[in-house]
Chains A and B, each alone.
Chain A
């Protein structure tokens, strides 16, 4: 008789964690299989022994004093906002950056303008196909540079806070 699939379920049977259908199947098998019945009896005995093994654990001294000493001088970690909120922040920063550049108009320094245009064209190749949308490439390139700069400053700040802790 192939008992393996039943033996795996006997532990859950002892815990009363099988659903009705599974329980009935395993119990029917136990009626005809002495070796699985023995396993069930031994696991039940083992369960009782395990439960009495650790019940005598004496309560420890009050750890709150030690924990408080440990916590003295430690600041609570500033927690990063959830991922979805971080994405929203990022989007907001990008929109602001783009809006800022639109407001600045086309009269900025030619070197800066060249870098922004180059990055935008590089990252947004499809824009190259439409010559009259080059200004969009410039804005996107600029937005990316601003976002990366903002992220860099933010991560440096986080790194300093982490080191202080």
Chain B
């Protein structure tokens, strides 16, 4: 953390190499968040790149150096939300990814899990980006409501209601997809 403060101070003075260290330190987290909101890796990488460029150019605006991580998250979430969405690619990528994981598990369970994940991803892609954003920050980054409120600049009550609405909507879509899947199998 102390090391990051040193890089940050140097970057504020225009040292691009120090900023490069910060990029390496934060890129995976930002990529996860952008990927979660946008649904595909290619767009997520573009957004993360844009986020870092934007952050570097506006680095002087950051007064609280300790808030750097949250500040980056806010930029990446806003950039992701404002970007044109391509939800249909969300589950296709997950589908491809399945082969790389769970190789040690039984094939039946693996298929079941893969199906479940695919349905969940499809359901996620049908939520609005702003609802997806709060869900990603909560479920993936495990932020508290207070932290999400800081990152998104929203009141805690709004975070709470967006999460509640998002989850209930997700549940409805997910259940509908499950039912369709069972009907498709003739069960």
Contacts and interface: CB of A to CB of B under 8 A. Distances in A.
Contact of B56 (A11, A57, A66, A71): A71
B144 interface: yes
Interface string A50-67: 111111110110111011
A63 B48 contact: yes
Interface string B131-165: 00001101110001100000000000000110110
Main secondary structure on chain A at its contact with chain B?
A: helix
Contact of A70 (B27, B49, B170, B175): B49
B117 A11 contact: no
Interface stretch (A72-80, A129-137, A145-153): A72-80
Given A46-B167, A47-B139, A62-B27, A67 B61 contact: no
Interface in B80-99: 94, 97
Given A8-B161, A9-B164, A66-B49, A57 B145 contact: no
Nearest to A77: B57
B20 A64 contact: yes
A68 interface: yes
Contact of B45 (A15, A46, A49, A60): A60
Given A15-B145, A60-B28, A64-B24, A51 B140 contact: yes
Interface residues of B, number: 50
A53 B114 CA distance: 10
Contacts of B16: 68, 71
Contacts of A66: 49
Nearest to B48: A63
Interface residues on A, range: 35 or more
B174 interface: yes
B129 interface: no
A71 B174 contact: no
Contacts of B139: 47, 50-51, 53-54
Main secondary structure on chain B at its contact with chain A?
A: helix
A46 to B, nearest CB: 6
Contacts of A161: none
Contacts of A7: 164, 168
Query: Which of A52, A53, A56 counts the most B-chain CB atoms under 10 A from its CB?
Result: A53
A46 B20 CA distance: 37
A55 to B, nearest CB: 8
B60 A43 contact: no
A102 interface: no
A97 interface: no
Contacts of B14: 76
B104 interface: no
A98 interface: no
Nearest 6 CB-CB pairings of A with B: A11-B164, A64-B23, A50-B139, A64-B20, A79-B60, A67-B52
27 contacts: A10-B164, A11-B160, A11-B163, A12-B160, A12-B164, A15-B138, A17-B145, A42-B171, A50-B170, A51-B139, A53-B117, A54-B32, A54-B35, A54-B136, A56-B101, A57-B31, A59-B31, A60-B27, A64-B27, A67-B56, A68-B20, A68-B23, A70-B49, A71-B56, A77-B57, A78-B60, A165-B57
